């Protein structure tokens, strides 16, 4: 594989020299320095005890000529904490590559394919570097424009195994088909689509599944299937100020993990969102029902490994530092979720947001509740004010797998953000947040002050303070009767410099352990103490 990658790079370089095309790329590098801090549990692993520093980086190269697009990405991990936050990982190689040929009505791609069907519930191959998700389909994809209104898509291959670079792949084979239209009927606009996916287990994966089933009680055993089939139908309807998306997905029965046992079940998802907007008002309603819709390369994979799809998140992903600590992840076994968001803008300088989210399991177990209000005002010449509050009920026992006496975390979090615009290029922004909570770590206070000098500089300082720690067994640091927790500070000093297509950032960080979520996909990350530097560049 390394030899073929070198040949691939030589092909790009020789093509650049011998023909007239366009060449582009981008670079991203993260550098970490680990500073031991036992007070916040940033210790006790090789990163803090031995290695003390690490890095990860990605270099993308693209070359376009005469309908061809050549793409290659080099991945480098050196004592990196991104794959496993408590241990060092070192690896280097070709993380992705592809060749695409665009013709009149046909497009062919071979190599690493990033694409999706519908909203992604049936199939989604994508990359998220923050969580180190890279589930590219390594194979071939054909897109054919049947008419001006209908496009067909077919693909087959194996999913990339992101536990190593150089295109290590999972054994099972994926095959899929997608047809999508785009039609107008007067003021009515519809975008209907259908999708199909087949996953075939390889012999090694099947042997592992069979061994797991045979180790179970006789009453729970069943005959596993090599093939799983899944289907999707969806449509986006737009009429004047109204937009309605609806999707239904079904998968045939297969082995899925439920309550630490393999069971033989089919699965389904129903998802819809309705959006209405006109001057002064916007309303969004979202609903989703999920039952046993586990889409992985095989039942043997857990956590972020072998994910074939992505499920939309009904809850709004909040940017506020304290609120974002308790973001709900989509549940693929059992979930009923609904959400409503209302935006009111009585004039050009004022708007109000009100939202509510309600999530349960299918058997009515509470998972998540959120009531949220926010006001925004910029009626003064140089000032912008944002005030709001969140009421939260969060099943921390399920979402963060914490076996604590009280599984539901209750919290009320008021927050304020004030921006003062000194002139067209300079501004000062302040954030204040307070979370009143009894479970987990208890109550928090957060303050941030940021200075921006557009378009080059951004500097900020912040502190997240565990103002009233929980003294009971819900606290992750609980050691028994007489436990007296410490109130720790978590500082962040940040600076970023941008020049053209290049951005450099440097931060001194104290970060509490918790769940990091991106797009509704979450993973646990331990506490961090040290220095983080990031370089991004495009050319």
The DSSP-derived string for 111-163 is EEE--EETTTTSEE--EETTTTEE--EEEEEEEEE-SSSEEEEEEEEEEB-TT
**Does residue 97 sit within a domain?**
no
Q: What pLDDT does residue 182 have?
A: 97
SS3 39: helix
- For residues 143-149, give the mean pLDDT: 97
C-alpha span between 299 and 206 (Å, rounded): 9
Q: What are phi and psi of 527, to 5 degrees?
A: -60, 150
In contact, 72 and 5? CB cutoff 8 Å: yes
Q: Is the pLDDT of residue 402 over 70?
A: yes
Is residue 256 a part of any domain in this protein?
A: no
Residue 381 domain flag: yes
How many independent structural domains does the chain possess? 1
Give the tens place of pLDDT for each residue, 5-24: 555 555 555 555 555 789 99
- Could you identify the residue written with the tokens 């509470």? 366
CB 237 within 8 A of CB 228: no
Rounded to whole angstroms, how far apart are CA atoms 71 and 286? 37
- CATH code, 399: 2.40.160
- Average pLDDT of the segment spanning 270-281: 97
Give the list of residues 6+ apart from residue 199 with CB closer than 8 angstroms, or none.
172, 173, 174, 175, 227, 228, 230, 297, 308
- For residue 56, is it within any domain? no
Q: Write the pLDDT tens digit of every residue in 30-70.
A: 999 999 999 898 998 999 999 999 999 999 999 999 999 99
How do residues 514-530 score in pLDDT, each as one tens digit? 877 776 677 788 899 99
Token reading at 536 = 């991004």
As a whole number of angstroms, the distance between CA 73 and CA 69 comes to 13
Q: Quote the pLDDT of residue 1.
A: 44
In a domain, 358, yes or no: yes
398 against 516, higher pLDDT: 398
Q: Is residue 401 part of a domain?
A: yes
Proportion of the chain above pLDDT 70, given as a percent: 96
Residue 301 lies in a domain: no
Confirm whether 387 is domain-assigned.
yes
pLDDT band per the 50, 70, 90 thresholds, residue 343: very high
Per residue in 187-218, pLDDT (tens digit) is 999 999 999 999 999 999 999 999 999 999 99
Q: How far from each other are the two terminal CA atoms of the chain, in whole angstroms?
A: 27
Domain that holds residue 327: 313-487
Q: Which of the listed ranges 86-90, 152-156, 325-329 does the model predict with the highest average pLDDT?
A: 152-156
Q: What pLDDT does residue 485 have?
A: 82
Token digits of residue 401: 């797998």
Q: What is the pLDDT of residue 477?
A: 75
Average pLDDT over residues 298-327: 92
Residue 177 pLDDT exceeds 80 = yes
Q: Residue 305 pLDDT > 50, yes or no? A: yes
The first and second tokens of residue 517, run together, are 């979520």
């Amino acid at each position: 594989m390394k030899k073929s990658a070198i040949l691939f790079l030589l092909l790009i370089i020789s093509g650049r020299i011998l023909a007239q095309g366009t060449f582009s790329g981008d670079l991203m590098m993260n550098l970490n320095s680990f500073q031991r801090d036992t007070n916040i549990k940033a210790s006790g692993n090789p990163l803090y005890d031995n290695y003390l520093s690490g890095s990860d980086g990605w270099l993308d190269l693209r070359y376009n000529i005469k309908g061809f697009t050549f793409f290659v990405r080099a991945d480098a991990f050196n004592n990196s904490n991104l794959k496993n936050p408590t241990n060092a990982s070192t690896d280097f190689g070709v993380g992705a590559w592809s060749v695409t040929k665009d013709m009149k009505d046909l497009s062919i791609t071979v190599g690493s394919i990033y694409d999706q069907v519908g909203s992604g519930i049936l199939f989604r191959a994508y990359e998220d570097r923050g969580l180190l998700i890279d589930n590219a389909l390594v194979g071939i994809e054909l897109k054919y424009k049947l008419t001006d209104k209908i496009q067909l898509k077919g693909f087959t291959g194996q999913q990339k195994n992101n536990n190593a670079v150089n295109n290590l792949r999972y054994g099972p084979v994926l095959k899929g088909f997608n047809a999508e239209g785009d039609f107008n009927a007067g003021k009515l606009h519809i975008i209907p689509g259908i999708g199909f996916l087949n996953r075939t287990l390889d012999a090694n994966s099947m042997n592992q599944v069979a061994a797991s089933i045979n180790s179970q009680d006789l009453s729970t055993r069943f005959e596993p299937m090599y093939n799983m089939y899944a289907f999707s139908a969806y449509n986006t309807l737009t009429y004047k100020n109204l937009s309605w998306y609806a999707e239904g997905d079904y998968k045939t029965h297969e082995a899925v993990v439920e309550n630490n046992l393999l069971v033989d079940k089919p699965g389904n998802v129903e998802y819809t969102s309705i959006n209405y907007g006109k001057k002064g008002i916007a309303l969004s309603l979202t609903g989703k029902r999920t039952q046993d819709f586990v889409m992985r390369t095989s039942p043997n994979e857990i956590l972020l490994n072998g994910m074939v799809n992505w499920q939309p998140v009904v809850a709004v992903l909040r940017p506020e530092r304290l609120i974002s600590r308790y973001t709900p992840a989509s549940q693929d076994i059992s979930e009923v979720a609904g959400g409503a968001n209302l935006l009111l803008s009585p004039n050009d300088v004022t708007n109000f947001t009100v939202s509510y989210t309600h999530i349960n399991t299918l058997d009515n177990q509470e998972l998540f509740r959120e009531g949220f209000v926010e006001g925004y005002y910029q009626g003064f010449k140089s000032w912008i004010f944002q005030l709001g509050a969140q009421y939260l009920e969060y099943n921390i026992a399920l979402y963060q797998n914490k076996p604590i006496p009280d599984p539901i975390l209750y919290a009320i979090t008021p927050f304020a953000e004030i921006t003062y615009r000194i002139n067209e290029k300079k501004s000062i922004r302040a954030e204040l947040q307070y979370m009143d909570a009894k479970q987990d770590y208890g109550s928090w206070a957060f303050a941030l002050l940021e200075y921006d000098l557009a378009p080059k500089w951004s500097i900020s300082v912040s502190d997240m303070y565990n103002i009233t720690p929980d003294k009971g067994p819900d606290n992750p640091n609980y050691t028994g009767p007489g436990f007296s927790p410490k109130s720790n500070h978590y500082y962040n000093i940040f600076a970023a410099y941008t020049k053209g297509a290049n951005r450099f950032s440097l931060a001194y960080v104290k970060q509490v352990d918790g769940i990091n979520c991106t797009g509704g996909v979450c993973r646990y990350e331990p506490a961090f103490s040290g220095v983080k530097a990031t370089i991004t560049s495009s050319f």
